[in-house]
Amino acid sequence: MSAEASVPREEIPWYPKVNFNECIGCGQCVEFCHNDVYGWDEENNHPIVVNPHNCVVGCSACAKLCPQGAISFPSKEELLAAIRAARERHMAGNR
Ligand code: SF4
Ligand code: SF4
């Protein structure tokens, strides 16, 4: 069983963060992701993360294609630490 399999998705903090100072509103991230993670802020012409937990844990494809490098994710270490902490919370709760 993988580490994240025993932890509810909502407790895994893996989703994109957009730096609006860098984003140029090209929309490539929104077009690319088929999981409805992103919506679009018409007023400010940039993407917004509307369904963070639809993001596939470990995927960072949209960050790689962003021409501005405006999308970031936690580091692998941060991800693993968060999964470990969530697992420990659940194990403590199940005793
Ligand atoms: S791909 Fe990058 S620059 Fe283009 S809309 Fe998304 S975050 Fe903004
Ligand atoms: S990392 Fe993958 S699943 Fe998550 S928002 Fe980007 S393209 Fe979609």
Between CA 38 and CA 18 the distance in angstroms is 10
Mutate to test the pocket of ligand 2, among 14, 56, 66 (most ligand atoms within 8 A of CB): 56
CATH topology of domain 3-93: Alpha-Beta Plaits (3.30.70)
List pLDDT tens digits, range 33-72: 999 999 999 999 999 999 999 999 999 999 999 999 999 9
Cα of 43 vs centre of ligand 2, distance in Å, is 23
Per-residue confidence (pLDDT) for residue 92, from 0 to 100: 80
Q: What is the pTM of this model?
A: 0.89
